[in-house]
Amino acid sequence: MSKIFNISRREFLKTGAIISGGLILGFSLPLSAESLAKKSAKIFAPNAFIRVGTDNIITIIVNKSEMGQGVYTSLPMLIAEELECDISKVKIQSAPVDPAYNHTEWGHVQGTGGSSSVRSTWVQFRKAGASARMMLIAAAANIWKVDPSECSAEKGFVIHNKTKKRRSFGSLAEKASHLKPPKDVSLKSPENFKIIGKPTKHLDAKEKVNGTAIFGIDVKVPGMLTTLIARPPVFGAKVKGFSDEKTLQVKGVTNVVQIPSGIAVVAKDFWSAYKGIEALDIKWDEGNNAGLSTDAMRSHYSSLAKTPGVVARKEGEAKQEFMKAAKQITAEYEVPYLAHAPMETLNCLVDLKDNRCDIWTGTQLQTIDRNSAAAILGLKQENVHLHTTFLGGGFGRRANPHSDFVSEAVHIAKALKKPVKVIWTREDDIKGGYYRPMWYDRISAGIDDKGTLTAWMHTIVGQSVIEGTPFEQAEKKNGVDETSVEGANDIPYNIPNILVDLHSPKVGVPVLWWRSVGHSHTAFVVESFIDEIAHAANKDPYEFRRMLLKNHPRHKAVLELAAEKAGWDKPVEKGKGRGISVHKSFGSFIAQAAEVSVEKSGEVRVHKVICSIDCGRVVNPSTVAAQMESGIVFGLSAALFGSITLKNGRVEQSNFHDYPMLSMKNMPKVEVHIVKSEATPEGVGEPGVPPIAPAVCNAIFALTGKRIRRLPIDKNELKRI
């Protein structure tokens, strides 16, 4: 495939006209007939996901950000399936910001997240492809003076079935562009799929292997300056005063600018800016958060967890039944703040001209970032052109409803009237907030004398990630932030009495969704605790779950599959322990079985992970497997190492040496088994993460009898001397 490139809406029109000899096929999909009429319908219609050039080049415009989850392959597959073109030859272009590209489930926002890309475009993209194919067929039928029903399309050609006459899509592009999009578009029935469901290599692999893929940090414009920012040592601290005397003496430094997020040092290149930052002298007013410490928060959270919170789910009378139970079990679980730490640190390039602003960045929330920039600049939104590059990892960090990394770059460009690129250092990233919240959970269960689970009570304590964002209304129900309790309030186990409640304390640490959001802690708590109960009831933890899942066949099926592939019925090798977990998130059902051993030093080795997944109909099995591997690694980094702590308001970690990641030597062998399903396609980017921590901790228990209730796993607890 040739280069994936990225241009603004206006340039898109212009280039389109030049490249293809004036031909752009546009599609009006049922959703946006109105915006079609309003917008530049002369040349092409909005919801334009496809362009067919007279040169036979087919370009697919993808409105989701490619951050490793494979949308630049899976979404084009949906279009190519219906368009009948060769998937390996299409070009991919990132979409400009336009309502035509809004998320089909998020209202007026263009963005990528919630493992929703395939699900939310499943119908939209296939219809775009089918509609284009019908127009190309109609164009050929007109030329041949035959009925369109006598023609079909294949690999970029329209064919007259009887005479075998063929014409390439490119040769039909001009004629087709004069036709009206069909009103009724019918889609292939799945047994005729040729692309969907087949393992398809990632279309962007070549660029990513030869180093030409352009990430935000790589974009250059003429006259561009590089900026680093000296950021507050404490969240919310303000600059009291500063001296830039020494900084301005550093060769290459051109300006020093105060902006809301700190002091920006602008220079000809990164290294000059870096030295300029080191030479700055800043006095901070540290404000209210100077005393913050995660130790103190932990004791506060633990006492909150003993008091009733806002009810998220109530069925039956959990409290009474718990009191009556023959056996009562209570446990407290906790997980720390976590940084997303994508390999590409945050960055944003802003090129501000008189009445136009161009922004290049790898973002997951185009509309919100574009609008924030327009508001800061006092420009019309349509005069701000945001270009989405490849993202060197997102994991939620590049979906910030507060637009932090875009806004600050815009402030600097506004002050300087020069093109500036802000680059975050890794230290900025680790210390810069917007973490996965720290969570504290207290959970209790009652078992009757037959070993049946009769009552379940779960109190959750942790900050809300949606508070104060545009997503608050949609995600908050009866005072409960759904993203805080997801995976806990919808447990599938058959228990007659359930109570789940929530405390959302306000703390001055900025928090954000982190790959798998609430599930990143609830799965750990629920799937570890159910294991505890199984052991307390003297039952096999797999069989115990299975029995409680009789009303949840998809949970049960993945659980059984993982157990079978893991050889649950056979004893595990000596010196190893095996644990299992099952969890549903983002529409997908996943079970994981982990095999671990523990060294004398207490170090945990995860040898093997069997992962089964039912994500509905599979579009690209290669991507599903890759995302499971990826989620497992992400979850293991958190379970084994990840922890952000604060002392005196300061974040104690700073880079990968003290906020470590899983590396090759700790990589388990991962085996992915996909359940064949005809249900709607669901998420795969996040659901691989939640089940791994409990699967590993359950395995540790099976091996050592030690129950891990706090992440990351503390070696000292497992040390044998």
Which residues bind to another protein, rule: CB under 8 A? 66-70, 201-202, 204-215, 217-218, 220, 226, 251, 269-271, 341-345, 390-395, 423, 425-426, 622, 626, 629-634, 655-657, 661-665, 667, 669-670
Nearer to ligand FES, 68 or 587 (CB): 68
Nearer to ligand FES, 386 or 662 (CB): 662
Least Å distance, CB 666 to another protein, is: 8
Is residue 632 within 8 Å of 611, Cβ to Cβ? yes
- Residue 614 binds which entry of another protein, ligand FES, none, CB below 5-8 Å type-dependent: none
- Residue 476 binds which entry of another protein, ligand FES, none, CB below 5-8 Å type-dependent: none
- Residue 419 binds which entry of ligand FES, another protein, none, CB below 5-8 Å type-dependent: none
Nearer to another protein, 211 or 575 (CB): 211
Least Å distance, CB 31 to another protein, is: 30
Least Å distance, CB 204 to ligand FES, is: 11
- Residue 214 binds which entry of another protein, ligand FES, none, CB below 5-8 Å type-dependent: another protein
Nearer to another protein, 170 or 394 (CB): 394
Nearer to ligand FES, 326 or 343 (CB): 343
Nearer to another protein, 49 or 424 (CB): 424
Rounded Cα–Cα distance for residues 674 and 381 (Å): 44
Least Å distance, CB 258 to another protein, is: 25
Least Å distance, CB 397 to ligand FES, is: 13
- Amino acid at position 320, single letter: Q
Rounded Cα–Cα distance for residues 29 and 79 (Å): 13
- Residue 206 binds which entry of another protein, ligand FES, none, CB below 5-8 Å type-dependent: another protein
- Residue 69 binds which entry of another protein, ligand FES, none, CB below 5-8 Å type-dependent: another protein
Least Å distance, CB 68 to ligand FES, is: 5
Binding residues for ligand FES, rule CB under 6 A, total: 3
Rounded Cα–Cα distance for residues 492 and 557 (Å): 13
Nearer to ligand FES, 156 or 394 (CB): 394
Least Å distance, CB 366 to ligand FES, is: 21
Least Å distance, CB 220 to another protein, is: 8
CA distances from 24 to 18, 53, 126, 153 (A): 10, 7, 19, 19
DSSP state of 583: E
Is residue 631 within 8 Å of 652, Cβ to Cβ? no
Of 26, 46, 53, 68, which lies in the binding site for ligand FES, with binding defined by CB under 6 A? Answer: 68
Contact mark string toward ligand FES, 586..625, x via CB under 6 A: ----------------------------------------
- Residue 220 binds which entry of another protein, ligand FES, none, CB below 5-8 Å type-dependent: another protein
- Residue 201 binds which entry of ligand FES, another protein, none, CB below 5-8 Å type-dependent: another protein
Nearer to another protein, 323 or 343 (CB): 343
- Residue 667 binds which entry of ligand FES, another protein, none, CB below 5-8 Å type-dependent: another protein
Rounded Cα–Cα distance for residues 600 and 27 (Å): 64
Is residue 472 within 8 Å of 515, Cβ to Cβ? no
Nearer to ligand FES, 217 or 257 (CB): 217
Interacting residues with ligand FES between 330 and 359 (CB under 6 A):
343
- Three-state secondary structure call for residue 473: helix
The residues with which 215 forms a beta bridge, in sequence order, are: 390
Q: Does 437 bind ligand FES (CB under 6 A)?
A: no
Q: Lay out the sheet containing 166-168: strands in order across.
A: 151-154, 157-160, 166-168
- Residue 271 binds which entry of another protein, ligand FES, none, CB below 5-8 Å type-dependent: another protein
Rounded Cα–Cα distance for residues 507 and 527 (Å): 28
**Angle formed at CA 16 by CA 10 and CA 20, multiple of 5 degrees:** 170
| CA of residue 414 relative to chain centroid, distance | 31
Nearer to ligand FES, 343 or 474 (CB): 343
Least Å distance, CB 70 to another protein, is: 7
Least Å distance, CB 520 to another protein, is: 15
Is residue 91 within 8 Å of 141, Cβ to Cβ? no
- Residue 288 binds which entry of ligand FES, another protein, none, CB below 5-8 Å type-dependent: none
Q: Of 675, 616, 557, 689, whose CA–CA distance to 118 is shortest?
A: 616
Rounded Cα–Cα distance for residues 364 and 395 (Å): 9
- DSSP code per residue over 433-459: --BBPPEEEEEEEEE-TTS-EEEEEEE
Reported in sequence order, the residue ranges of 7-63 that DSSP labels E, i.e. its strands, are: 50-52, 58-62
Rounded Cα–Cα distance for residues 491 and 498 (Å): 10
Rounded Cα–Cα distance for residues 244 and 230 (Å): 12
Rounded Cα–Cα distance for residues 213 and 325 (Å): 60
Interacting residues with ligand FES between 371 and 410 (CB under 6 A):
393
Reported in sequence order, the residue ranges of 303-370 that DSSP labels E, i.e. its strands, are: 310-315, 327-335, 347-352, 357-361
Nearer to ligand FES, 393 or 683 (CB): 393
Rounded Cα–Cα distance for residues 203 and 73 (Å): 6
Query: Cis (ω within 30 of 0) for the bond into 712?
Result: yes
Least Å distance, CB 654 to another protein, is: 9
- Residue 269 binds which entry of ligand FES, another protein, none, CB below 5-8 Å type-dependent: another protein
Rounded Cα–Cα distance for residues 386 and 41 (Å): 22
Q: Which two tokens stand for residue 696?
A: 């590993």
Least Å distance, CB 208 to ligand FES, is: 7
Q: Of 273, 215, 229, 270, whose CA–CA distance to 247 is shortest?
A: 273
- Residue 391 binds which entry of ligand FES, another protein, none, CB below 5-8 Å type-dependent: another protein
* Cβ neighbours of residue 413 closer than 8 Å, sequence gap 6 or more: 350, 351, 352, 357, 419, 420
Rounded Cα–Cα distance for residues 259 and 408 (Å): 7
Nearer to another protein, 80 or 559 (CB): 80
Q: Which residue is nearest to ligand FES (CB)?
A: 343
Question: Dihedrals φ, ψ of 477, to 5°?
Answer: -125, 125
- Amino acid at position 261, single letter: S
Say what angle helices 553-566 and 541-548 make with each other, to 10 degrees: 160
Least Å distance, CB 203 to another protein, is: 10
Nearer to another protein, 202 or 545 (CB): 202
Nearer to another protein, 570 or 665 (CB): 665
Rounded Cα–Cα distance for residues 394 and 296 (Å): 31
If residue 376 lies in a helix (H) or strand (E), which one and from where to where? helix 366-377
Least Å distance, CB 667 to ligand FES, is: 13
- By CB under 6 A, name the binding residues for ligand FES: 68, 343, 393
